[in-house]
Chains A and B, each alone.
Chain A
Amino acid sequence: MYKFLLSTRYLKTRFIALASVISVTLGVATMIVVNSVMSGFSSQMRERIHATLGDVMVEATSMDGTDNPEQLLSDVEALAGQYIEAVTPTVEIYGMMSFRWMGQDIYRLVTLVGIVPETKNQVSPLAKYLMSRQQIKENDVVVREPLRSEDSPLDWSLTKEGLEDRASWIRAKQFEDFNRQLNTPSVTQTTPPSQNLGAASEFSLEVGGTPKIANPDAPDLADPFASAAPAISHDPEAPQAARIYVGSGLISFPFKERETGIAKTQYMAKPGQDVILTTIKAGQPEPAPFKATIVDVFKSGMSEYDSNLVFCNLEELQYVRGMLSGPDPTRPHDNLDWKKGAITTLQIKLKDYRDAAEVVRRLSQGLDYKYQVRTWEQKQGPLLEAVAVESAILNVLLFLIITVAGFGILAIFYMIVVEKTRDIGILKALGASSRGIMVVFLSYGLSLGIAGSGVGVILGLLFVYYINQIEALLSWFTGRKVFDETIYYFHEIPTVVHPSMVIWVALGAMLIAVLASVLPARRAAALHPVRALRYE
């Protein structure tokens, strides 16, 4: 009983010890805040990575992919069908994208991903990262409401606004081309301006798929493959057969308005506009250029993806790369079926992600050596690992801070024991055992730890809860945006509080407080009563 009474009394009367515990409090609060923000960031990042990848990826080791997707699909179904919820085929290939902006050609290196939207969206939630489905905010002001509802089926159609933009873009394009021809007389000599006007929807770069037929000078030339050439006259208003979702980072750049200092994003291309994509044919090292219409902008917040990925309709990509041809050679874009062509990757969504290891094992054992089977985490291993290592190191460092606080407690405890020497002698004279004295000081340490980490937990959780308000306050105070949306892509600072993390941190801090009091407590217990009583 006296142990309890004395340790609580010491807690109440020794403010210096409470001061030493403030460092524990701050350490605990910092650890909770840092961990919450870091796990918030990493869970957002994982979600975004996951948005472009399936749970499990079956990748062909060859860039040309497999010719027989149906066989692959049935093999996968047979090997791990019971775990699988959805499967989507993709073709992944490097490419280059170019488009005109402000009178200059912009080139971008991209990764082209041919997808089937319906199944792709079942495998990973791509739809919600398309900007037509997002509310667009600029500096906390809603600039545009979503153009479509988030759960409308994913397809390659343009929105109404997209079609309008396309019409005005084509008019501007025609005007620009016309101007250019007027200013470059050497070109007007070889080709009459009227023809160039007619071909105004063409890009300055001549394109492989459709160019020759646009030239009316040689329509009667005996081309042995004339019948095989596509006979459609392209309606310039209609979007191209190849449609793409383009990563927002590829067609935009952030800038700061000089007068206001407000961060804004400048888009160089819009949905409705055409771009030229150049990729590589399968089987032979030849470039395969084609035109595609942007139908939507993809913004996941993972800059690695947003400034790299271009999602294209699978069949068109297969067609362009020569991996697939339609049943009717005169109408090459009709009735394409990806199952007849080649694919490079199967993305699989599992019913339960915990089965991933088992599925990977089954598939990598059962499938041909031509395929590599990985989970999305393994595919993104280095990045995820880096984040994990970073947070581990941070935790170690922060815990060291708490340990430093522990030494503070140790020093102050020693002081208190020295100060209490006579009281310890009295307690021993009254019959308290050495163990009892030790318990007094250990439980004093523990109660300091509990008080310190308890306050720390409360402070930390409050900070996490109000982190965005605090950020706003700091921004207002310093006049600078502390958390810049344009850099991090997050509208708000993401936080995730794992209760287990909070408990571990609090327990760790308490343990350190107790450990720090062990030495002084042992000293107190070992004090000889007579010497303690004589102590002045």
Chain B
Amino acid sequence: MPPTRTIPMTSAQPHICAKALDKAYRKGEHRVPVLRGVDISLYRGEFLSIVGSSGSGKSTLMHLLGLLDEPDNGEVWLDGTRIDKLPATTRDELRNNVFGFVFQFYHLLPELNLLENVLSPLMIRYSFLQYWRNRKELREKGLEIIEKVGLSHRLKHRPSELSGGEMQRAAIARALVGQPSVLLADEPTGNLDSRTGQEIMTLLHKLNTDDHLTIIMVTHDDAIANQAQRIVRLSEGRIQALGEAA
């Protein structure tokens, strides 16, 4: 598949960008720096992969971009607004509305069945009454997305009754149900065999091209990373190389 640039270069403002992000973790007495001044910026509809070996800080970068964590220094901007220093409730809302997360270990809630898992961001977004009033509509939405990831036959199954690929597709459906503008995927294929992993990648590509979803994918697998449009290579907390995907 030849790479086709779909980035609207005319757009003056990046969709999401990070400026000089610093992050360190404390391990007992020692301060372990993870990110040392990382700059990154993405336009709407881009598919970026962040590659690096274990401990290079790629997951931390993704967490900072997705507001799961706060940087020690540096800024995160979304559509021209700084978002990293916002109050907790606003950041919770942003996570719910703007970002969709996909994790390596799927992270579905074991007590809920597939449909409920997929609908959970909407349950979080709306209050009990709002949800109850719109339950049919929201359910339709959930069903539609499950259809899109091809799991319509598994609606009432618990995560433990699904295969790895199915779980990851369910997790993607959950990330998409709230109609986010950025999908953050942390090693989405890391726990799958190559064939299932490829299925997931195909799905992500489809979302990227069809729905113009901005995707940031973290991986250590170059073969997977190369399927993105743009690659950022991290090493010891610094950006080592920026490159177009092959």
Contacts and interface: CB of A to CB of B under 8 A. Distances in A.
Contact of B95 (A1, A422, A429, A528): A429
B63 A422 contact: no
A430 B96 contact: yes
B112 interface: yes
A132 interface: no
B126 A1 contact: yes
Interface stretch (B44-52, B116-124, B190-198): B116-124
A4 B128 contact: yes
A530 B68 contact: yes
Contact of A533 (B107, B112, B131): B107
A430 B88 contact: no
Interface string A520-536: 00000000111001000
A1 B111 contact: no
B161 interface: no
A431 B97 contact: yes
A107 interface: no
Contacts of B112: 5-6, 9
Interface in A245-299: none
Interface stretch (A216-224, A432-440, A504-512): A432-440
B127 to A, nearest CB: 7
A4 B124 CA distance: 11
A298 B60 CA distance: 89
Contacts of B126: 1
B55 to A, nearest CB: 13
A347 to B, nearest CB: 62
Contacts of A63: none
Interface string A417-453: 0000011011111111110100000000000000000
A10 interface: yes
A427 to B, nearest CB: 7
A9 B111 contact: yes
The CB with the most chain B CB atoms within 10 A, among A5, A429, A434, A529, is that of A429
A436 B124 contact: yes
A429 B124 CA distance: 11
Contacts of B108: 426
B43 interface: no
A362 B108 CA distance: 76
Contacts of A428: 68, 92, 95
A2 B124 contact: yes
A426 B124 contact: no
Given A5-B116, A530-B68, A430 B121 contact: yes
B132 A1 contact: yes
Interface string B70-96: 000000000000000000110011111
Contact of A431 (B69, B92, B111, B131): B92
Nearest to B131: A1
Nearest to A13: B111
Interface in A369-427: 422-423, 425-427
A1 B88 contact: no
Contacts of A6: 109, 111-112
B19 interface: no
B49 to A, nearest CB: 20
Contacts of B69: 528-530
Given A430-B95, A533-B103, A2 B89 contact: no
A433 B116 contact: no
A411 B120 CA distance: 28
Contacts of B68: 428-429, 529-530, 533
A431 B63 contact: no
B103 A1 contact: no
Contacts of A432: 92, 96, 124
B206 interface: no
B66 A429 contact: yes
B15 to A, nearest CB: 19
Contacts of A2: 120, 123-124
A530 B108 CA distance: 16
B125 interface: yes
Interface in A194-245: none
B63 A530 contact: yes
Nearest to B101: A429
Given A2-B124, A530-B68, A433 B63 contact: no
Contacts of A3: 128
Nearest to B60: A530
Nearest to B93: A431
A10 B112 CA distance: 10
The CB with the most chain B CB atoms within 10 A, among A426, A431, A433, is that of A431
Contacts of A430: 95-96, 101, 120-121, 124, 174
Interface string A1-20: 11111100110010000000
Contacts of B89: 433
Contact of B111 (A10, A436, A529): A10
Given A10-B111, A423-B109, A431 B128 contact: no
B38 to A, nearest CB: 16
B135 to A, nearest CB: 9
B107 A422 contact: yes
A431 to B, nearest CB: 3
Nearest to B106: A426
B95 A431 contact: yes
A529 B186 CA distance: 15
Given A1-B128, A9-B112, A433 B88 contact: yes
A532 to B, nearest CB: 10
B203 to A, nearest CB: 20
A331 B203 CA distance: 122
Contacts of A4: 128
Contacts of B116: 5
Given A426-B109, A429-B66, A5 B123 contact: yes
A431 B107 contact: no
Given A6-B112, A426-B108, 8 more contacts: A1-B131, A2-B120, A9-B111, A429-B68, A429-B95, A429-B107, A431-B93, A530-B60
Interface of A: 1-6, 9-10, 13, 422-423, 425-434, 436, 528-530, 533
The 4 closest A-B pairs by CB, nearest first: A431-B96, A2-B123, A1-B123, A1-B131
13 contacts: A1-B124, A2-B120, A2-B123, A5-B116, A9-B111, A426-B109, A428-B68, A430-B96, A431-B96, A432-B92, A432-B124, A530-B68, A533-B107
Interface of B: 60, 63, 66, 68-69, 88-89, 92-97, 101, 103, 107-112, 116, 120-121, 123-128, 131-132, 174, 178
